Amino acid sequence: MPDTNPVLEFRISARYGAREVLCNVEGRIGTREIVALVGLSGSGKSTMALSLLRLLRYRGGDVNGSIRLEGGELMGRSDREMRAVLGRRIGYVPQSPASALNDRLRVETLLAETWRAHSPAIPPAGTFARLLESVHLPAGRDFLSQRAGQLSTGQGQRLLIALAIMHKPALLIADEPISALDAITQASVLKLFQQLNQRDGTAILFISHDLLSIAQISHRVEILHEGRIVESGPPRELFRSPKHEFTRRLVEAMPRVPRDEE
């Protein structure tokens, strides 16, 4: 079970110009906890991820409130101070791999640069090969010398996951990390998240539309609707007896594998 000590505690509001998208949203993620964030398209999930990373202004938004990571307040920190946190204490898998990777850079360069950004030491032998293997990517010369622009969406997504977990962050924020992947790779990425959580103690904010995957890996689910968290709880309880009308609709829309007699 996850510890109750929070890795992250926040209470934030976020807006784009006059339009408020998150309204006093409160939350906490415990050490070793996997929290899933669910909501309709456009409900503000990516806005919440970018707000917690202090990156929302690059998308034209503004955040107010408090964000405490491992006890330290992030609001008010400079870009330089945030660079010491992002990629090291918080890993981030953005929603669109295509725009997140520099198309012209080779896989080996992306790996080396991400390593160097946060560590002056030379990576121990085999570090990158093990990392690529953990996300089911090949570690041979052919793949290492490919440019990011030549990767498939799914390969790009897995490379982003590898880069995000390279420095074993205390918290991983993953914005729809499996939506571009085939079923087998999805299952392996979910397993990887569970391993990271159980073996390395990484807490995870897992943003997804896939309720079955959420039920499989998360300790707690938060339902975001119209700018507020309307319901929260362990996935089994929440999906079995949803209290809020919106959660009920979500659960009813959940796909079921048809049985023979149906």
Ligand X SMILES: Nc1ncnc2c1ncn2[C@@H]1O[C@H](COP(=O)(O)OP(=O)(O)OP(=O)(O)O)[C@@H](O)[C@H]1O
Contact letters (x/-) for ligand X, 72-101, by CB under 6 A?
-----------------------x------
Total binding residues toward ligand X, as defined by CB under 6 A: 13
120 binds, among ligand X, Mg ion, none (CB under 5 to 8 A by kind): none
DSSP 148: G
Candidates 66-74, 91-99, 197-205, 237-245 — which segment interacts with Mg ion by CB under 5 A? 91-99
Contact letters (x/-) for Mg ion, 17-46, by CB under 5 A?
----------------------------xx
Among 6, 30, 39, 242, binds ligand X (CB under 6 A): 39
27 binds, among Mg ion, ligand X, none (CB under 5 to 8 A by kind): none
Q: Do the Cβ atoms of 172 and 205 come closer than 8 Å?
A: yes
Query: CB-wise, 92 or 115, nearer to Mg ion?
Result: 92
Query: CB-wise, 115 or 246, nearer to ligand X?
Result: 246
d(CA 74, CA 176): 24
Candidates 37-45, 101-109, 137-145, 253-261 — which segment interacts with ligand X by CB under 6 A? 37-45
Among 18, 58, 60, 257, binds ligand X (CB under 6 A): 60
Tokens of 21: 């998208």
Q: What is the largest CA-CA distance in the chain?
A: 61
99 binds, among ligand X, Mg ion, none (CB under 5 to 8 A by kind): none
Q: List, in sequence order, the alpha helices (H) in 119-182.
A: 127-134, 141-144, 153-165
3-state helix, strand, coil in the chain (%, to 5): 40, 25, 35
| Cβ neighbours for 150, distance < 8 A, ≥ 6 positions apart | none
Candidates 44-52, 79-87, 124-132, 241-249 — which segment interacts with ligand X by CB under 6 A? 44-52
Q: Is 157 in the site for ligand X (CB under 6 A)?
A: no
Tokens of 145: 């010398």
Shortest distance in whole angstroms from residue 46 CB to Mg ion:
3
Give the burial string for 213-250 (b: 16+ CB within 10 Å, else e). Answer: bbbebbbbbbbbbebebbbbbebeebbeebeeebbeeb
Which residues contribute to the site for Mg ion (CB under 5 A)? 45-46, 95
